[in-house]
Structure 1
Amino acid sequence: MRYGAVTAVDNVNFTIEAGKLVTLLGPSGCGKTTTLRMIAGLEIASEGQILIGGKDVTKLSAADRDVSMVFQSYALFPHMSVLENAAYGPTVKGLGKEQAKQMALEKLALVGLKGFESRYPSELSGGQQQRVAVARALVLEPQVLLFDEPLSNLDAKLRRRVREEIRELQQDLNLTVAYVTHDQEEALAVSDRIIVMSNSRIAQEGAPRELYEQPANAFVADFIGDANLVEVTVKSVADGRAEVAIGSAAISLPARDLGPGPAKVAIRPEALLLSGTAGPASLPGKISKCAYLGNHLDVMVETEIGELFVVQYGARTMLEPGAPVAVSFAESGVTLIPPA
């Protein structure tokens, strides 16, 4: 997708299997919403093809594609009741009033809004408005359902509940969904597959666990969850294992096709373990900051390889700044990053 000299989406190729939820994830301006709008027919691709159910829809208008979109703002009609909002699609398509009403009632019941039919959007909570928007998108039973940042207007607690509802609905109804968000936790929670975008291109795609545990590059490691990115030296490689020097500590990691020489590792904050005694597989350090966050502590530790961010789950005792500690590494959560 080009806007004059600017390429907003650059050589992006992917397939969404029927009945799967695939998330386009990335920072603002990476091209994810433009990609979604191209699938919807709200933007016409400058080059390439878009196929839905094997049919080439690249040059078709939005109205002629079998897709529905749930917008960030929900885009509900404030002067229409919940039922009228949900029945809007079939009414516009020219179906009879009674048929449109029945279709709308069925989908409202499906999203748990039975009994809310006569209310107006202003009388609903954010989560309920979101569900009306989903019911309206579902009413014509599209081949593909598109979500554009659907939870960004909700508070944190409601966001968790509504994302669970969306995932449940998608699985129960076997819906094919393209979902756009910049929220990594949301993407990890709802997706069968995640496509991480950066600078108008795909940085990596895969299952949530694969992206978190085996990031393809430093951008993905840093973007999906928190990661300490550290320069290291691969001393030797044998049988798919690499002997790695992280400062004065020596540890063994899956080689990921890397050879001896300088490299980077991504270390998840929960993969760093703090204790009082140092050994050959640990680094000496001292506490620089400690914050209590209810179910965990956020700790910053000063070491010979720089400041490391550590998360201690279940810890209740605050760690005093300046206190000496030994930093060791868990079995998982430490990954060699292939060079860019």
Structure 2
Amino acid sequence: MTKAGPASVEFRNVSMRYGAVTAVDNVSFSIEAGKLVTLLGPSGCGKTTTLRMIAGLEIASEGQIMIGGKDVTRLSAADRDVSMVFQSYALFPHMSVIENAAYGPTVKGLGKEVARDMAMSKLELVGLKGFENRFPSELSGGQQQRVAVARALVLEPQVLLFDEPLSNLDAKLRRRVREEIRELQQDLNLTVAYVTHDQEEALAVSDRIIVMSNARIAQEGAPRDLYEQPANAFVADFIGDANLIDVTVKSVADGRAEVAIGPVSVPMPARGLGIGPAKVAVRPESLLIGHEADAMALPGTIKKCAYLGNHLDIMVSTAVGELFVIQYGARDMLEPGMPVWLSFAKSGVTLIPPV
């Protein structure tokens, strides 16, 4: 059985309506073959519905869905070369690990021995050799997750889909399993669409991230682009922590803006904005605390300081509101009421539209 290999996925003006409710609203994007793209957003933003439309578990109300250049918009799930790993893993409790993994080829009528060999090779791939005769109830959450991945991989689908795959695991295991998924995706050159509401997970595993909000795409791009150059307040606040400060753009020349942040003036890329009100998104680690009066820095007073092992979480009261600051490395605690001056780092300080 020769396989076609990984395939691209493309959405062209796709909408999904349930009666009067629009779950996905005129969405267009593409996933390159062999890449891992994450659909990221809060509950109810449309990301899981989008994933289910790739799988054929939901049929789009409007628009076109292409897999490997072929129009699959009206095809059923069974007629698409796609596999999905569900949030609940959806393993059959009465079947052993090997029977679960061999389910796909068995149903396709490939014969018991062939199905078993195919399943065994995938179980070995996910590190479960020796576990084949156990039942799901005898496995840890991380092991059950791997069985679900092996079962999804066994037919070598053109596209592999993950729906919140780590949400049932504890924090430490989550990190390990997300690394395993990423390694597997890269080693096998898989096309993966991955859904999560966890921004750290998205930043860690993705080639590209599509941020969704209210059934639409808020922004898409490489993880670093989204973190360092958010398009708007929603993306800035959703991907990592951000201080959102109301500011005034005083002048713009050659793509650079002079921005009034309270009493201080800070130069930064204009990003297409003109003179007038705007917002600046400032990452907590991009606020630098000084202890001597500085005309180029924003004066403030320490409100709170918490020790979190490898960093301090600090709240500073300023003329533009309370700002959240993170200081990494071993540092002395800062006492409430202490005067400080905040300056702005070169990166992690981004001009965004006022609304």
Identity of counterpart residues, as a percentage?
Answer: 86
Deviation, 1:338, is 3.0
1:116 aligns with 2:152: no
CA distance in 2, matches of 1:281, 1:116: 63
1:13 aligns with 2:28: yes
1:3 aligns with 2:18: yes
User: What is residue 12 of structure 2 aligned with on the other side?
Assistant: none
Query: Alpha-carbon deviations, 1:199-246, whole Å to 9, x = none?
Result: 000000000001011111111011110000001111111222111111
User: What is residue 153 of structure 2 aligned with on the other side?
Assistant: 138
Q: Is the 8 A contact 2:142 2:173 kept in 1?
A: yes
1:92 aligns with 2:92: no
User: What is residue 233 of structure 1 aligned with on the other side?
Assistant: 248
Structure 1 unmatched runs, 5+: none
Hey, which of these two has a bigger chunk of strand by percent? 2
SS in 1 for 2:32: coil
1:293 aligns with 2:302: no
Alignment match of 1:157 (pick from 152, 165, 172) = 172
User: What is residue 325 of structure 1 aligned with on the other side?
Assistant: 340
Scaled by the length of structure 1, the TM-score of the pair is 0.98
Q: Which amino acid aligns with 1:228?
A: N
Deviation, 1:280, is 2.4
SS in 2 for 1:167: helix
Deviation, 1:80, is 1.1
CA distance in 2, matches of 1:171, 1:55: 24
Alignment match of 1:201 (pick from 189, 197, 216) = 216
Alignment match of 2:205 (pick from 180, 184, 190) = 190
User: What is residue 28 of structure 1 aligned with on the other side?
Assistant: 43
- Shift >4 Å, 4+ stretches: none
User: What is residue 249 of structure 1 aligned with on the other side?
Assistant: 264
Deviation, 1:281, is 2.1
Structure 2 unmatched runs, 5+: 1-15
Q: Is the 8 A contact 2:277 2:354 kept in 1?
A: no
CA distance in 1, matches of 2:354, 2:27: 22
Deviation, 1:339, is 4.3
CA separation of 1:219 and 1:70: change in aligned 2, threshold 3 A: same
Q: Is the 8 A contact 1:104 1:135 kept in 2?
A: yes
Instruction: Please give the residue correspondences for 1:68-107 in structure 2 after superposition, counting only pairs within 5 Å.
Output: 68-107=83-122
SS in 1 for 2:29: coil
Q: Which amino acid aligns with 1:312?
A: Q
Query: Alpha-carbon deviations, 1:151-182, whole Å to 9, x = none?
Result: 00011111001000000000000000000000
1:303 aligns with 2:318: yes
CA distance in 2, matches of 1:119, 1:110: 17
1:315 aligns with 2:312: no
Q: What is the alpha-carbon root mean square deviation over aligned residues? A: 0.9
Q: Is the 8 A contact 1:250 1:280 kept in 2?
A: no
Q: Is the 8 A contact 1:8 1:31 kept in 2?
A: yes
